[in-house]
Structure 1
Amino acid sequence: MELRARSRSRSRLAASAAVALLALTTACTAGTVQGRPGASGLRDPYFPKAGNGGYQVEHYALDLDYDPGDGQLNATAVITARAEQGLSSFNLDLSGLDVEGVTVQGSGARYNRSGRELTVRPAEDLKKGEVFRTEIDYGGKPKPITDPDRSKEGWITTADGAVGVGEPIGSMAWFPGNHHPSDKATYDITLSVPRGYEAVSNGELRSRADTADGRTEFVWHSPEPMASYLATAAVGKFKVTTGRTGSGVAVYEAVAPGEAAASAPGLAKLPEIVEWGTGRFGPYPFGTAGAIVLPTGSLAYALETQTKPVFSGAPDEELVLHEVVHQWFGNSVSPKSWKDMWLNEGFATYAEWLWSEDHGGTTAQQSFDAFLAGDTAVDADAGEDWDAFPPASPPGPADISEDPVYYRGAMVLQRIRQEVGDEKFFALLRGWATDHRHGNASTADFTAYAEQKTGHDLKKVWDVWLYGEDRPS
Structure 2
Amino acid sequence: MRYRTRVTAPATALIGTAMALSGGHTAYAAAGKTPGGKGTPGPETLGDPVFPALGNDGYRVSAYHLDLAYDATTGLVEATTTLNLRTSQALTRFSLDALGLDIHSVRVGGRTAAFEQVDEKLRITPDRALPDGARVTVRVEYSADPRRTLAHTAWVPTPDGFAVAGQPNSAHTVFPCNDHPRDKADFTFRITVPAGLRGVASGLLVCTENLDGGRTAYTYRSRSPIATELVQITVGDYVIKDRQGPHGLPLRDVVPAARAQALEPALALTPGLVEWLEARLGAYPFETYGLLPCNSDDPNAFDFTGLETQTLTLYKPNYLLQEESKIGSHMMHELVHSYFGNSVCPDTWADLWLNEGHADFYGLLYRYERGWADSIGLTTMEARMKNTYARGDQWRHDSGPVAAPNAVNLFDSQRYLGGVLVLYALRQAVGEDVFNAIERAFLERHRGGSATTEDYIAVASQVSGQDQSGFLREWLYGTTTPRMPGHPDWTVTPVTSSLATPHKRTGGHYHDASATL
TM over 0.5: yes
* 3-state SS in 1 of match to 2:273: helix
Q: Distance in 1 between matches of 2:171 and 2:149?
A: 9
What are the equivalent positions in structure 2 for 1:143-222 lying under 5 Å apart? Answer: 143=147, 153-222=153-222
Query: Deviation digits for residues 296-336 of structure 1, max 9, x if unmatched?
Result: 33311121000001012233222211111100000010011
My pick for the range that moved more, 179-188 or 134-143, is 134-143
Is 1:72 the counterpart of 2:76 in the alignment? yes
1:56 partner letter:
R
Do residues 40 (structure 1) and 51 (structure 2) align? Answer: no
Instruction: Tell me the alpha carbon deviations over residues 258-298 of structure 1, each in whole angstroms, 9 at most, x when there is no partner.
Output: 55455333322212222222221122111111111012333
Aligned residue identity for 2:428: Q
Report what 2:432 is aligned to: 422
Q: Residues 463 and 79 of structure 1: is their aligned pair in 2 closer, same or farther, counting only changes over 3 Å? A: closer
In structure 2, the residue matched to 1:453 is 463
Structure 2 residue 332 is the aligned partner of structure 1 residue 328 = no
Match of 1:89 among 90, 93, 102: 93
Is the counterpart of residue 390 in structure 1 residue 401 in structure 2?
A: yes
Does the Cα contact within 8 Å between 1:408 and 1:465 map onto a contact in 2?
A: no
Task: Give the SS at the match of 1:343.
Answer: helix
Tell me what 2:302 maps to.
299
Q: Which residue of 1 aligns with 2:263?
A: 263
Distance 1:218 1:145 in 2: 28
Contact 1:186 1:226 in 2 (8 A): yes
Counterparts of residues 132-147 of structure 1 (less than 5 Å): 132-143=136-147
Assess, with a 3 A threshold, how the Cα gap between structure 1 residues 463 and 41 changes in structure 2: closer, same or farther.
Answer: closer
Written as runs of structure 1 = structure 2, the 5 A alignment for 1:306-455 is: 306-313=310-317, 314-315=319-320, 316-359=327-370, 362-372=379-389, 388=398, 389-394=400-405, 396-455=406-465
1:49-68 equivalences under 5 Å are: 49-68=53-72
| 1:342 counterpart SS class | helix
State the secondary structure of the residue aligned to 1:457. Answer: coil
- Corresponding residue number in structure 1 for 2:249: 249
The equivalent residue for 1:117 is: 121
Which secondary structure does the structure 2 equivalent of 1:332 belong to? coil
The residue identity in structure 2 corresponding to 1:423 is: D
Letter in 2 for 1:283: A
Structure 2: runs of 5 or more not aligned: 1-33, 321-326, 373-378, 483-491, 493-517
Deviation, 1:34, is 2.8
CA deviation after TM superposition for structure 1 residue 464, in Å: 4.0
Give, in whole Å, the separation in 1 of the partners of 2:37 and 2:413: 50
The change in CA–CA distance for 1:457 and 1:357 in structure 2 (over 3 A counts) is: farther
Amino acid at match of 1:247: H
For the 8 Å contact 1:247–1:275, the answer to whether it is kept is: no
Distance 1:257 1:174, change over 3 A: same
Distance 1:209 1:254 in 2: 19
Most deviating of 333-342 and 210-219: 210-219
- For the aligned residues, what is the CA RMSD? 2.3
The count of corresponding residues between Structure 1 and Structure 2 is 430
On the 8 A contact 1:96/1:142 being kept in 2, the answer is no
Measured after TM superposition, the shift of residue 357 of structure 1 is: 4.7
* TM-score w.r.t. length of structure 2: 0.79
Q: For 1:156, give the aligned amino acid.
A: V
Question: Cα–Cα, structure 1 residues 350 and 262, in superposed 2: closer, same or farther, change >3 Å?
Answer: farther
Q: Amino acid of the residue matched to residue 210 of structure 1?
A: N
Out of 209-218 and 429-438, give the one that drifted further. Answer: 209-218
User: How far 1:47 moved relative to its partner?
Assistant: 1.1
* Counterpart residue identity of residue 437, structure 2: A
> Taking structure 1 as reference, are residues 78 and 271 closer, same or farther at Cα in structure 2, changes over 3 Å only?
same
Deviation at 1:146, TM superposition (A): 6.3
Q: Distance in 2 between matches of 1:372 and 1:265?
A: 36
Cα distance in 1, alignment partners of residues 397 and 293 from structure 2: 32
Read off the aligned partner of 1:392 and give its amino acid letter. A
Structure 1: distance between partners of 2:149 and 2:46: 20
Cα distance in structure 1, aligned partners of 2:112 and 2:150: 34
Contact (CA 8 Å) 1:167, 1:229: kept in 2 or not?
yes
Alignment partners' CA distance in 1, 2:260 and 2:411: 28
Query: How much does 1:463 deviate?
Result: 4.3
Say whether the 8 Å CA contact 1:209–1:218 is kept in structure 2. yes
Look up the match of 2:14: none
Paired with 1:356 and 1:438, the residues of 2 have a C-alpha distance of 28
**1:114-147: per-residue Cα shift (whole Å, max 9, x none)?**
1211111112221211111011111132456767
Greater fraction of residues in strand: 1
**Mapped partners of 1:258, 1:410: distance in 2:** 38
Cα distance in 1, alignment partners of residues 255 and 438 from structure 2: 36
> Residues 431-460 of structure 1: CA distance to partner in whole angstroms, max 9, x if unpaired?
111111011111111112211211233345
> Against the structure 1 CA distance between its residues 228 and 255, is the aligned structure 2 distance closer, same or farther, given a 3 Å change threshold?
same
Instruction: Report if aligned partners of 1:424, 1:454 keep a CA contact under 8 Å in 2.
Output: yes
What secondary structure sits across from 1:123 in the alignment? coil
CA distance in structure 2 between the partners assigned to 1:145 and 1:224 by the alignment: 33
CA separation of 1:145 and 1:457: change in aligned 2, threshold 3 A:
farther
Distance, in Å, in 1 between the alignment partners of 2:266 and 2:389 is 29
Q: Which moved more, 1:162-171 or 1:54-63?
A: 162-171
1:160, 1:400 → 2: CA distance?
32
Look up the match of 2:497.
none
Deviation at 1:216, TM superposition (A): 1.5
* 1:85/1:129 contact within 8 Å kept: yes
| Secondary structure of 2:48's aligned partner | coil
Task: Give the direction of change, closer, same or farther, for the CA distance of 1:471–1:258 in structure 2 (3 Å limit).
Answer: farther
In the alignment, what sits opposite 2:511? none
Change (3 A) 1:42 1:143: farther
Contact 1:190 1:217 in 2 (8 A): yes
1:238 aligns with 2:241: no
- The farther-off stretch of 247-256 and 384-393 is 384-393
